[in-house]
Structure 1
Amino acid sequence: MPDSPKPALVCLAQPAWDGDYVKSTVRLMEALAAHYRVLYVDYAHTLADAARAALGRGGAPLERMFGREDRLRRINGPHGPIHVLTPPPVLPTRWMDEGPAFRAALAVNARIVGHVVRAAMRELSMTDPVVVTAFAPQLGLPLVGQLSERARVYYGYDEIAAAPWVGKHGARLEAEYLANADAVVVTSEGLRESRGAQHANVHLVPNGVDFDLFYPAATWQPEGDRPCVGFIGSLDGRVDYALLGALVERRADLDFLFVGRATAPEAEALAAHANVTLAGPHPPDALPGFLGQMDVGIIPFQVTRFTRSIYPMKLNEYLAAGRPVVTTPFAPLGDAEAHVYTASDVPVFSQALDLALRDRGLAARRRRVAFARQNTWAARARAFAAVVEQAPAAPRRRAA
């Protein structure tokens, strides 16, 4: 039975719902539950993922994938209930070249996923949904017109052409999906510029912050004997390791704390420094405790085509905790640029850290907190919903 008379929204998602780090799509859909009845179609694991999981080499949810547990879960989120649907395994396609076989495989995957999505919609009495394709054009494109959708919205939060996990087909499939989308929502100025050349109805809704989670850290003072510079997030290919390595050597008077997954080989080299701690990944609820140990938050990203598309969630998390922020000039950050120190090389970054360490007074903390308070996920969801409701009705067509 329906939970409420709210309109329906189906999210075809690239990110998996579960995990040990904060995901913008998950947080946005949680907040959109205040406005819509949300069906979150979880990441579609492949048969290859299933085989690895069966051998103990992966975390694919085999019981739900194969229907031995209920595929459809009700999650009681902070803004209302959300239903999360685990699809059956699909065909792996990233290795394939463009051509009839690849397109046939996409069609097969769409039939597999579309069947269980329509069944879930019937079970939940969902009709005429808004369909949000979240960085998953390989699924959204072949499902165009197959879910009786009233509007199609593409949600882009990274530069898909530079994202290795999307594979060699991502940019082409995204462009094809955009031709069938009624509106496009992106999270960064860089993406608004690039997607604005592809679509006439592009809107900027930056990543938000779980303000109530991070704000308590604004009243906590680090207890260490030395100032602590911190980074929350994955140590992956976005990070400028040359800058970081030189910085930790130059600033032996500072401690550096990194909280998150270390997926790049260069990350482990940082741990060789006596003033560096790699704390590993932790669930979102644990992050404010780590922020409480930090005097300054940093975003040391490389300046690349990929990073230009990023509006990092950690930015408003740092600010909600009242922490000063030092960042490289990896992307335009809009109004947030008034609240950060920007540095493009090691000497300037080191100087910026000193400025930030002197900028920890009560008035400065209050300014940062006030800015972050405007950028909650609830505020982002209202902006997203306004885009959706202004979008023209989707023609009941299938993608060519």
Structure 2
Amino acid sequence: MRRILFLAHSHAFGAFRVGSHHYARTLARAGADVVHLSTPISLAHRVAGRVSADAASSVPRGAHRDADGVTHLVPRTALPRPYGRFRVVRELTRQGIGLEFDAVLIDQPLLWDESVRTLSRRLVYRPTDLYPAGVKTRLQQRILTAADGVVATSSEVLRGLGPLDVPALVLGNGVDAARFAPPADVNADRPPVCVYVGALDARFDWQQVDAWARAHPDVRFAVAGPSAPPPISLPSNVDLLGPVPYPALPALLQGARVGLLPLSDDPLNAGRSPMKLYEYLGAGLATVARETPVIRPDDGAGLYTYRDREGADAVLRRALAHASPNVAGVQRAASESWQAKTDDLTAFLGSLPPA
């Protein structure tokens, strides 16, 4: 696969990195010509305040080739997708990007239009979330009708698609293991710091963080991510760090003892394959997560799960008592590297007969 197009939900110029960014980087470093086109920034979202002026100004206009060789494209539109006149082929042509690819991988249903099918003889849908209703559900069905294969980030996400008549693969998110691994010569016992990094939306359980912090006043809880003020008053041992740039994450995580994934009751959490899980383990943290069909306990690797508030505190106590740094967790994360995931993805793409 020498030329690959990602049609992705998130661009690479903010605080977060998602799976398509890592696949694109790994493939480009191996010599592939990779184009990563993400959800347009619309004037409507700017006016409504959903995209700030600072956030928009940090995103390059037009095609931008990064240090790894990936060509990034974040279109500007008047109306958000799927409304308005935006079409993928039209945007690629406008930017002088050739229209023939060995494979197209789409994870953002809102980017679908019929022109996408013309770009490659191999079209793969890569769902990363559950879409139980709404416009994304309708567009997802159109993609499935046209796709040659499916690569889902979890078995729950795959199950949510219903019966399929094309080849399918479950390929969970991975980790840039070398980036997050703690220095081999640093083995000092870490301080009682618990950290969360990620989105702070309806899928995040503020009440659980509050309960942990009040039960453990001697432990510092660091919460990093862009959000409005929390919906509840938090004790003084909870620090809200705001968004942390991706390059700064290893240092933040390596200064903590426990990584947290306090998932809420939001049904969309059932299918999530959180990237932070392996980044926590890879940085040497014991990890505490709410158990889901995707996230299961692995005590030997320092991954502890709880099912309800009654069990959450006992699990956190076990994680705080776990040997630190968590060497077994580092080893577990190394087996989930993005290179290994990319090898599996490439093999799957190669197995698909051209349409």
TM-score (norm 1): 0.79
| Runs (5+) with no aligned partner, structure 2 | none
Aligned to 1:248: 213
1:330-341 alignment, distance < 5 Å: 330-333=292-295, 339=301, 340-341=303-304
Q: Where in structure 2 are the equivalents of 1:77-116 lying within 5 Å? A: 77=68, 81-92=69-80, 105=84, 108-110=85-87, 113-116=88-91
Aligned-partner Cα distance in 1 for 2:226–2:101: 39
Matched, 1:21 2:25: no
Instruction: Give unmatched runs, 5+ long, in structure 1.
Output: 1-5, 66-70, 95-101, 163-167, 395-400
| Residues 10 and 132 in structure 1, CA contact (< 8 A), matched pair in contact too | yes
Distance 1:228 1:88 in 2: 41
Q: Does 1:160 align with 2:123?
A: no
The answer to whether residue 39 in structure 2 is matched with residue 43 in structure 1 is yes
1:389 & 1:276 partners in 2: Cα distance?
A: 48
Q: CA deviation at 1:338?
A: 5.8
C-alpha contact (below 8 Å) 1:229/1:298 kept by paired residues: yes
1:220 is displaced (CA, Å) by 5.6
Instruction: Please tell me whether Structure 1 or Structure 2 has the larger radius of gyration of its CA atoms.
Output: 1
2:163 to 197, 200, 215: 197
Aligned counterparts of 2:124 and 2:90: Cα–Cα separation in 1: 21
Conservation of the 8 A alpha-carbon contact between 1:323 and 1:360:
no
User: Displacement, 1:335?
Assistant: 8.4
Confirm or deny that 1:358 pairs with 2:310.
no
Secondary structure (helix, strand or coil) at the match of 1:40 reads strand
1:124, CA displacement in angstroms? 5.7
In structure 2, the residue matched to 1:278 is 240
The answer to whether the 8 Å contact 1:220/1:292 transfers is: no
Are 1:297 and 1:325, in contact at CA under 8 Å, matched by a contact in 2? yes
TM-score, structure 2 as length reference: 0.88
Matched, 1:141 2:113: yes
* Candidates 296, 308, 333, aligned match of 1:345: 308
Contact 2:196-2:223 within 8 A present in 1 as well: yes
Pairing partner for 2:340 from 370, 379, 382: 379
Q: Does the 8 A contact of 2:16 with 2:246 survive in 1?
A: yes
Q: Is the contact made by 1:217 and 1:291 (CA closer than 8 Å) also made in structure 2?
A: no
- 1:221/1:292 contact within 8 Å kept: no
Give the paired residue count.
351
